[in-house]
Amino acid sequence: MFEEKVAVLLDEALEENQALFLIDFKVTPDNKITVTIDGDNGVSVQDCMNVSRHIEHSLDREETDFALEVSSAGATAPLQHQRQFKKNLGRRLQVRTNGEKIEGMLESADDTAIILSWKAREPKPIGKGKVTVEKKQTIAYQDIEEAKVKIVF
């Protein structure tokens, strides 16, 4: 019941700012509430505070004691939501599928799949040596085991 009440409050808070979306939500048996959010334009400290306040001010600590933590998805956290892929267009990703790791530029992301592109060195079709070729691969979301943005300095 407590978890359901918090879930409704969380939904209300996210409806107030349509650019934000939920990544993870947990309530432990001892009522520690953990919320992880992301946004189409990133997440500010103020965004986290607004979500936290909406939940906290609607609950009565006299009725149920709780701890609340609202945070943004970290820069190194795996991408989990389709909207996270769409906001990272043009960035380098490392994607792990069933036993295969692919690193490339995220060219597109729609409702079913992503497209990565990269350059690879391959043997020339005729003669000795190698040639640089452009590669592209479409990967369905259901085939992605883990995807992370590669941070380049």
What's the domain range around 125? 82-149
What is the identity of the amino acid at 25?
A: F
Do 60 and 105 lie in one domain? The reply is no
Mean residue pLDDT of the chain comes to: 92
Q: Tell me whether residue 17 is exposed, middle or buried, using C-beta atoms within 10 angstroms of its C-beta: 0 to 12, 13 to 18, 19 or more.
A: middle
Contact indicator for 144, 97 with CB cutoff of 8 Å: yes
- Could you tell me the CA-to-CA distances from 130 to 6, 87, 118, 125 in Å, in that order? 58, 35, 16, 9
Q: How far apart are the first and last CA of the chain?
A: 47
Do 66 and 89 lie in one domain? The reply is no
Would strands 67-72 and 32-39 be described as parallel, antiparallel, or unpaired?
A: parallel
Place of tokens 């939501």: 81
Contact indicator for 121, 135 with CB cutoff of 8 Å: no
Q: Which of 10, 42, 72 is the last residue of a domain?
A: 72
Given pLDDT bands bounded at 50, 70 and 90, which one contains residue 73? confident
Mean pLDDT over residues 9-37, rounded? 94
Mean pLDDT over residues 117-126, rounded? 90
Number of folded domains in the chain? 2
Do 120 and 94 lie in one domain? The reply is yes
Given pLDDT bands bounded at 50, 70 and 90, which one contains residue 125? confident
